Structure 1
Amino acid sequence: MSTFTLAQVAECNTTSSCWVIIRNKVYDVTDFIFNHPGGPQVIMDYAGKDATAAFVPIHPSDTLDKYLPCEKHLGTLDEASIRELRAANQSKGKSRDELRVEEAVKNKPPLGRMINIQDIEEIAKKILPYKAMAYYASAADDSISCVENARAFSRFFFRPRVMKAVSGVDPSTTMLGYKSSIPVYISGSALARLGHPLGEMVSSNSSLSYAQIAAARGSSEQPLLFQLYKHKNDDIAARRIREVEELGYKAICLTVDALVPSNRELDTRASHYLEEYENEGKITRGNAADKSGDVSTLGTAGGLIVNNDLDMTWEKTIPWIRSVTKLPIVVKGIQCVADAVLAVEAGCEGIVLSNHGGCFSYVASSLPPMEVLYKIRCERPDVFAKTEVYIDGGVRRGTDILKALCLGARTVGLGRAFLYAQSAYGEAGAIHLVRILEREIKFAMASLGVRTIDQLAPELVERVDWQPLGSKL
């Protein structure tokens, strides 16, 4: 294998000849510059340089082997260059944001003081690197859907039954036939390693490979559902589906509500904020201070979905997936009653009522999933008998989960909550969050007068519209 010096790599820093260093190996990425999902500038920022720190946290370890031809794997740095690069990294001072994170971690309260989801989120936002926080916390446009997802649960009130035997409350249920100790699943989310180096959640855009995630299961019986962003190239999409099926994933969860980048402004502004923060408020204007131009709104999130298939249809896509795999198909991103019905007619084994947490949906003011669930219960209750219905978005309490189950949801997904938990406290944080939800669910079930999940029913909840405090009639 050929060896190179840092000086040799540094010479290849243009769009016509672009080399980068990743883990002391040298790659020619010239042909990939203008096909990179995050845009060409992401690569050009590291042209002729070491890109390890930027590449590793957000890419699976097999990315280069899968997508970069063998002839573009040029070789390694020579020993002298490796030592020089290591010394440069060790001597490099820490950024203001890194120092801020270090201080926040040092003052982090013990995990035992976290008694609800909000507690964990507040700590996570303090200790996350700003760019990771902006990616996790950002939502589309004015965050209306994101805020209303949570507020929607407050419009549903319980009608508890008393004098019911509730000793030995059992919150277990099943999802696609697989048993779950509580009616909760972890929603697929990308780039969990931005928050913690050991963290990952199942997604087409995971920062660990699908094989690494499968290998990390506590048991081969632990069910993993694969969140699929269908690639516009059918061959690539088919390889992805077949790979996860061979690895033992139990279902394909096709995402249909996040096909184009949405306007997540907090995420988009992150790099500008960090630049000013590191420069103590000073803006670097360069030579184009007063020139207009295109504004890049991709941010961290937008680059993940630019290769999505924009031409999926009920008539074409579901049968195509059926031709590729025998796994059950769950469609994630249903936002109206009509599409829930179409999913049933297409034979989908499950649907997820979701607007992507208010982050990605086509229309930033899409209905909260809880309201969509209520509409399906009122208008097409037959849907619940024909497919499994799940819901995610805005869940803050165990009581939120039970409200959804009363209306017909089988299980409820949480994404951001687990991102924050593992970011703040690692694996222990994720486990602690499960325990919090289990405690809240059991307490609420006993208070409602039910002992098992199948006793939850629509008559136990009522939707009430309250006039806002201080409003005028």
Structure 2
Amino acid sequence: MYWRCNDVFQHISYIILPLPRDFPIVIDHSLPQLLLSDYYSRDYQGAFQIGAHLPGKAYDVTEFLPEHPGGPKIILKYAGKDATEEYDPIHPPDTLDKYLDKSKHLGEVDMGTVKKEQKEHDPDEEARQDRIARMPILEQCYNLMDFESVARQVMKKTAWAYYSSGADDEITMRENHTAFHKIWFRPRILVDVEKVDFSTTMLGTKTDMPFYVTATALGKLGHHEGEVLLTKAAKKHNVIQMIPTLASCSFDEIMDAAEGDQVQWMQLYVNKDRSITKKIVEHAEKRGCKGLFITVDAPQLGRREKDMRSKFTDVGSNVQSGSTTDNSQGAARAISSFIDPALSWKDIPWFQSITKMPIILKGVQRVEDVIRAVETGVQGVVLSNHGGRQLDFARSGVEVLAEVMPVLRERGWEDRIEIYIDGGVRRATDIIKALCLGAKGVGIGRPFLYAMSSYGLPGVDRAMQLLKDEMEMNMRLIGCSSVEQLNPTLIDTRGLNMHTTSVPVDNL
């Protein structure tokens, strides 16, 4: 049996399965036959011998296989097929170097032995390519929702399912956006708004726009350049990028893509192995990250059924069976098993002891926890429900913001902590509403992924420019010439606490 892969940045390249020991099955695309006898002579007790090249280098990941978050079945599924498109988007190039001991680096592979294999005919892919050929030109995208509409048509099903999925009935995911529709403006008139300045400062960094590129996983699912493309766009528009733990590109790749004094933050999922977490944090600080955003709303990843239906294996889900590990539940579950559900308030002093970076808690959802965050001494919080991907029926970030800021002002604490929000932002008016309520800045994730997936760097560039154009227009129309002038008197939030939901779609 052979597993054929194209020569790209990285991919699994061969497997040796001694099953039984006198009848090994070799799944290979690049290992010279002369080397195989050396592997046959080893005693692996029927376990997997798995290798990968990056490119042209072989690795032994036998011992790591049981810990592979995606499980072994995803690997076996692609026996005899090109696995590049599945492996590449969800594995940073330094994955094997980072997690495998040097003794597991088996050496060079003769790439001259690689055999080309034609791809099987895929009607779905053929139809997708036809839609790509007929997609609107970039100039026909006039707002961020347009990019989502195009992305739905041109992205691969698994990629679209991962990016667009929300938890359970996706009520919170939709509410994140519709909550902004419940806030109305009270604009000022006869104000000199010839010149409008919407630059601001976040964690001590001057930025041209009051939004940042928030952390979103698996950028290469949408575009082969992945997160480094977002880095380039952020530099052009002088906005801050938050680097995700679960990026397709390696952390160093994303940092290396930054230019000059470009500022980046680090989003952190806390590993069960604190030594790994410590190493990640220290490396981020050494490389120059200006903020550590610790995700606190994901002790377990939410049930994202759209993603699960497009899971990365053909094996049926057994989530209700009580199994301790289920590796057939889509990209989200397949990449996140390392996250520590035991993370608690008592860990915050430890983080403060290992870094001088500002610490921000990402995923705070109620005023009591914001108060505790101030008392703990962190520098900021992100009011967020993980883009509606965790607890369904969690309130929107902007609704929580409207609850939090009056309490902080009453205590005189509004300057002791920086408040950010994310989730559902699609218009500059959404950003302005959040700033009026008291947010320091707003995180935007999915829209930039959709723009990137549809049009690459020019798409993200246009998405950011559209937001700039909207900001200038709406700042003038509301009667403010700078971000500092935005305040609660400019908005009416009386309808914000009214919760209505549509009947969820089910298969009954």
Q: Using the TM superposition, give the Cα deviation of residue 110 of structure 1 relative to its aligned residue in structure 2, in angstroms.
A: 1.4
Q: Using the TM superposition, give the Cα deviation of residue 3 of structure 1 relative to its aligned residue in structure 2, in angstroms.
A: 5.4
Question: Match of 1:376?
Answer: 404
Deviations 1:128-154 (Å, cap 9, x if unpaired)?
111100000000000011011111111
How far, CA to CA, are the matches of 1:406 and 1:432 in structure 2? 25
Are the aligned partners of 1:20 and 1:49 in contact in 2 as well (CA < 8 Å)? no
How many residues get paired? 446
Question: Match of 2:18?
Answer: none
Are the aligned partners of 1:20 and 1:51 in contact in 2 as well (CA < 8 Å)? no
How far, CA to CA, are the matches of 1:296 and 1:61 in structure 2? 22
Matched, 1:244 2:284: yes
Question: Match of 2:336?
Answer: 305
Are the aligned partners of 2:51 and 2:58 in contact in 1 as well (CA < 8 Å)? yes
1:51-130 map, 5 Å: 51-79=83-111, 81-82=113-114, 84=115, 87-88=116-117, 91-130=118-157
Question: Match of 1:148?
Answer: 175
Please state whether the residue corresponding to 1:31 is helix, strand or coil: coil
Q: Using the TM superposition, give the Cα deviation of residue 293 of structure 1 relative to its aligned residue in structure 2, in angstroms.
A: 9.6
AA aligned opposite 1:373: L
Question: Match of 1:259?
Answer: 299
Question: Match of 1:29?
Answer: 61
Are the aligned partners of 1:19 and 1:26 in contact in 2 as well (CA < 8 Å)? no
Are the aligned partners of 1:225 and 1:252 in contact in 2 as well (CA < 8 Å)? yes
Question: Match of 2:266?
Answer: 226
Question: Match of 1:356?
Answer: 386
AA aligned opposite 2:50: W
Q: Between the two proteins, what is the percent identity of the paired residues?
A: 40
AA aligned opposite 2:343: M
Please state whether the residue corresponding to 2:176 is helix, strand or coil: helix
How far, CA to CA, are the matches of 1:310 and 1:446 in structure 2? 46
The structure-2 alpha-carbon separation of the partners of 1:462 and 1:15, relative to structure 1 and needing over 3 Å to count, comes to farther
Matched, 1:173 2:204: no
Deviations 1:267-290 (Å, cap 9, x if unpaired)?
000148x97xxxxxxxx99xx9xx
How far, CA to CA, are the matches of 2:367 and 2:290 in structure 1? 26
AA aligned opposite 1:253: F
* Structure 1 stretch displaced more, 378-387 or 325-334: 378-387
The structure-2 alpha-carbon separation of the partners of 1:144 and 1:468, relative to structure 1 and needing over 3 Å to count, comes to closer
AA aligned opposite 1:367: R
Are the aligned partners of 1:15 and 1:44 in contact in 2 as well (CA < 8 Å)? no
Please state whether the residue corresponding to 2:432 is helix, strand or coil: helix
AA aligned opposite 2:224: P
Are the aligned partners of 2:172 and 2:388 in contact in 1 as well (CA < 8 Å)? yes
Question: Match of 2:6?
Answer: none
Matched, 1:335 2:369: no
Q: Using the TM superposition, give the Cα deviation of residue 76 of structure 1 relative to its aligned residue in structure 2, in angstroms.
A: 4.2
Q: Which of 209, 217, 225 is the matching residue for 1:190?
A: 217
Are the aligned partners of 2:70 and 2:328 in contact in 1 as well (CA < 8 Å)? no
Are the aligned partners of 1:3 and 1:75 in contact in 2 as well (CA < 8 Å)? no
Are the aligned partners of 1:259 and 1:305 in contact in 2 as well (CA < 8 Å)? no
Q: Using the TM superposition, give the Cα deviation of residue 208 of structure 1 relative to its aligned residue in structure 2, in angstroms.
A: 1.1
How far, CA to CA, are the matches of 1:228 and 1:32 in structure 2? 23
Question: Match of 1:42?
Answer: 74
1:377-456 map, 5 Å: 377-381=405-409, 382-456=412-486
Are the aligned partners of 2:311 and 2:328 in contact in 1 as well (CA < 8 Å)? no
AA aligned opposite 1:398: A
AA aligned opposite 1:335: Q
AA aligned opposite 2:339: N
Stretches of structure 1 lacking an aligned partner (at least 5 in a row): 276-283
How far, CA to CA, are the matches of 1:114 and 1:453 in structure 2? 27
How far, CA to CA, are the matches of 2:104 and 2:264 in structure 1? 34
Are the aligned partners of 2:71 and 2:327 in contact in 1 as well (CA < 8 Å)? no
Question: Match of 1:17?
Answer: 48
Q: Using the TM superposition, give the Cα deviation of residue 79 of structure 1 relative to its aligned residue in structure 2, in angstroms.
A: 5.0
Are the aligned partners of 2:307 and 2:330 in contact in 1 as well (CA < 8 Å)? yes
AA aligned opposite 2:347: T
Are the aligned partners of 1:330 and 1:348 in contact in 2 as well (CA < 8 Å)? yes
Stretches of 4+ aligned residues off by more than 6 angstroms: 9-15, 47-50, 292-295, 466-469
Q: Which of 450, 459, 463 is the matching residue for 2:489?
A: 459
The structure-2 alpha-carbon separation of the partners of 1:308 and 1:296, relative to structure 1 and needing over 3 Å to count, comes to closer
How far, CA to CA, are the matches of 1:14 and 1:104 in structure 2? 49
CA RMSD of superposed structures (Å): 2.9
Question: Match of 1:280?
Answer: none
Deviations 1:325-355 (Å, cap 9, x if unpaired)?
1111111000000111111111111110000
The structure-2 alpha-carbon separation of the partners of 1:365 and 1:181, relative to structure 1 and needing over 3 Å to count, comes to same
Are the aligned partners of 2:147 and 2:450 in contact in 1 as well (CA < 8 Å)? yes
Matched, 1:207 2:237: no
Deviations 1:181-213 (Å, cap 9, x if unpaired)?
110100011101110011216111111111111
How far, CA to CA, are the matches of 1:318 and 1:250 in structure 2? 18
How far, CA to CA, are the matches of 1:14 and 1:120 in structure 2? 52
Q: Which of 166, 183, 195 is the matching residue for 1:139?
A: 166
Matched, 1:270 2:298: no
Please state whether the residue corresponding to 1:386 is helix, strand or coil: coil
Are the aligned partners of 1:18 and 1:48 in contact in 2 as well (CA < 8 Å)? no
Deviations 1:40-73 (Å, cap 9, x if unpaired)?
3233435798744432222111111110122222
Q: Which of 33, 50, 71 is the matching residue for 1:5?
A: 33
Deviations 1:75-117 (Å, cap 9, x if unpaired)?
34445531x2xx11xx223422322232122112111111101
Stretches of structure 2 lacking an aligned partner (at least 5 in a row): 1-29, 231-242, 503-508
Deviations 1:412-467 (Å, cap 9, x if unpaired)?
00000111111111111111111111111111111111100000001111113399
Matched, 1:344 2:371: no
How far, CA to CA, are the matches of 1:258 and 1:6 in structure 2? 48
Q: Using the TM superposition, give the Cα deviation of residue 296 of structure 1 relative to its aligned residue in structure 2, in angstroms.
A: 5.4
The structure-2 alpha-carbon separation of the partners of 1:326 and 1:172, relative to structure 1 and needing over 3 Å to count, comes to same
The structure-2 alpha-carbon separation of the partners of 1:108 and 1:408, relative to structure 1 and needing over 3 Å to count, comes to same
Please state whether the residue corresponding to 1:429 is helix, strand or coil: helix
How far, CA to CA, are the matches of 1:206 and 1:390 in structure 2? 22
Question: Match of 2:348?
Answer: 318
Are the aligned partners of 1:21 and 1:49 in contact in 2 as well (CA < 8 Å)? no
Q: Using the TM superposition, give the Cα deviation of residue 7 of structure 1 relative to its aligned residue in structure 2, in angstroms.
A: 10
TM-score by length of structure 1 reads 0.87
Please state whether the residue corresponding to 2:212 is helix, strand or coil: strand
Please state whether the residue corresponding to 1:16 is helix, strand or coil: coil
